Amino acid sequence: MRPTLYEAAGGETAMLALAMAHHVRCLADPELAHTFSHPGQHPQHIERLAAYWGEVLGGPPIYSQECGDHPGMLRMHAGNGDMTDLGRRFVACFVAAADDAELPDDPELRAALRAYMQWAVAEVLRYPDSDAGVPPEAAMPRWGWAGLAA
């Protein structure tokens, strides 16, 4: 049986390294830096991000059990206006962070991770004006080798 993307990437350790590397890249980006350096950021932002990505990519439900749910994550990022360019930059930082975090250099894994992040950013950007449209019952997405699992 094929491993999940979470397992193929290296599990919890890899997700934490990816989240840390992504955060560092975003802080270094002149357009994204303000979003990642505000004083109201959760003190465990990186660990929570790693748990979220891990769960979505097939890992344990740590984010859902300890941090919140998918609609909560969407509401947290809603209402920021048109952030299309920032979304592209966010994806670029994520792709580069996979190298920084020394994730396996498997082209299929890297393509699946990129596809996930492009989809995730597009989903977050669907709520530019407010969180009013965020469906309260939205389940945690599951992303696999073939994309979004039904």
Q: How confident is residue 78, by pLDDT bands cut at 50, 70 and 90?
A: confident
Nearest-angstrom CA–CA distance, 66 and 55: 12
Residue with tokens 């002149």: 30
Q: How confident is residue 129, by pLDDT bands cut at 50, 70 and 90?
A: confident
- State the DSSP string of 60-111: -SHHHHHT--HHHHHHHH-S----HHHHHHHHHHHHHHHHHTT----HHHHH
The DSSP element (H or E) to which 8 belongs, if any, is helix 5-9
Mean pLDDT, residues 98-109: 98
> What pLDDT, on the 0 to 100 scale, is given for residue 33?
85
Q: How confident is residue 38, by pLDDT bands cut at 50, 70 and 90?
A: low
Q: How confident is residue 146, by pLDDT bands cut at 50, 70 and 90?
A: very high
> What pLDDT, on the 0 to 100 scale, is given for residue 83?
72
Taking phi over 0 as left and psi of -120 to 50 as alpha, with beta for the rest, 82 belongs to beta
* 39: pLDDT strictly greater than 70: no
The answer to whether 122 and 87 have CB atoms below 8 angstroms apart is yes
> What pLDDT, on the 0 to 100 scale, is given for residue 128?
79
CATH level 3 topology of 5-148: Globin-like (1.10.490)
User: Burial code of 94-111, b = ≥16 C-beta within 10 A, e = fewer?
Assistant: bbebbeebebeeeeebbe
Residue with tokens 């992303």: 143
Going by C-beta distance under 8 Å and a sequence separation of 6 or more, which residues neighbour residue 1? none
User: Whole-prediction pTM value?
Assistant: 0.91
The answer to whether 149 and 142 have CB atoms below 8 angstroms apart is yes
The predicted-structure confidence for 131-145, as pLDDT tens digits, reads as follows 778 888 889 999 999
CA dihedral 120, 115, 56, 127 (to 10 degrees): 10
Q: How confident is residue 47, by pLDDT bands cut at 50, 70 and 90?
A: very high
Q: How confident is residue 94, by pLDDT bands cut at 50, 70 and 90?
A: very high
> Would you say the C-alpha torsion 139, 115, 86, 32 has a positive or negative sign?
positive
